[in-house]
């Protein structure tokens, strides 16, 4: 049995111990994916980027497969992953006092990548929504504000921004649920 089938089996067994509460999670996640405010392909690209932030290989694989089924090219998925890396790097360097962040030099272009308008593969609105979603996943108030500003400058309306936030919440929940695979052995399921 493949690792993911084994994981799905363990999650199913864990869910069967309390189907009512698991159904609440599933309803929440299903509602997020079904929301019409971001197209399905972009939703999956955003989920891939947030899955990188959540450091969930299972979620990355799942959402990348879904995105590929919707016609998303590997180049777009790689760009989403690189944006996730840049967002994480910004979070690390942003923790340093302002005078020490750049060592007196211009900020590295990699660190500016999440908030600039340069994209190679992603649609600019998808990139903006991806950064909004990753900022919410990290609970980084400064980046949330900056990302929302960029998204609004691109004309993204509130329902899309809310869905981007909700994708971050759904991926965070999904990542926690997939950890039931390891916990299932501990719980003797």
* pTM: predicted TM-score of the whole model, two decimal places: 0.86
In a domain, 182, yes or no: no
User: What does the H/E/C string look like for 57-70?
Assistant: HHHHHHHHHHHHHC
Strand, coil or helix: what is 40?
A: helix
Q: With beta carbons less than 8 A apart as the criterion, state whether 133 and 167 touch.
A: yes
Is the distance from CB of 80 to CB of 122 less than 8 angstroms?
yes
Residues constituting the chain: 189
Answer yes or no: is 22 within a domain.
no
Mean pLDDT by 10 residues, the chain (189 residues): 67 76 89 95 98 93 95 96 93 64 64 80 94 96 94 96 98 86 64
In a domain? residue 5:
no
Whether residue 152 is contained in a domain is answered as yes
Domain total of the chain: 1
- The answer to the question of residue 23 being in a domain is no
Residue-level pLDDT at 134: 97
CATH number at residue 49: 1.20.1290
Task: Please report whether residue 30 resides in a domain.
Answer: no
In a domain, 186, yes or no: no
- The pLDDT of residue 63 is 95
Has residue 14 been placed in a domain?
Answer: no
Q: Which tokens belong to 165?
A: 């936030």
Domain span at residue 102 reads 39-172
Q: Is 60 exposed, middle or buried (0-12, 13-18, 19+ CB in 10 A)?
A: buried
pLDDT at 159: 97
């Amino acid at each position: 049995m493949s690792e993911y089938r084994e994981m799905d089996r363990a999650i199913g067994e864990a869910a069967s111990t309390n189907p009512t509460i698991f159904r609440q999670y599933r309803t929440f996640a299903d509602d997020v994916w079904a929301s019409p405010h971001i197209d399905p392909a972009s939703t999956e690209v955003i989920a891939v980027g947030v899955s990188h932030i959540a450091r969930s290989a299972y979620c990355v694989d799942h959402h990348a497969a879904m995105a590929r089924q919707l016609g998303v090219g590997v180049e777009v998925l790689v760009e989403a992953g690189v944006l996730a890396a840049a967002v994480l790097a910004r979070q690390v360097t942003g923790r340093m006092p302002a005078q020490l962040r750049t060592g007196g030099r211009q900020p590295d272009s990699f660190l500016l990548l999440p908030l600039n308008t340069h994209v190679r593969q992603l649609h600019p609105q998808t990139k903006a929504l991806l950064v909004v979603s990753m900022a919410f996943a990290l609970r980084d108030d400064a980046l949330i504000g900056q990302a929302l500003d960029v998204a609004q400058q691109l004309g993204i309306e509130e329902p899309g921004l809310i869905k981007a936030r909700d994708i971050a919440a759904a991926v965070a929940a999904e990542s926690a649920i997939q950890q039931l695979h390891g916990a299932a052995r501990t719980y003797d399921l």
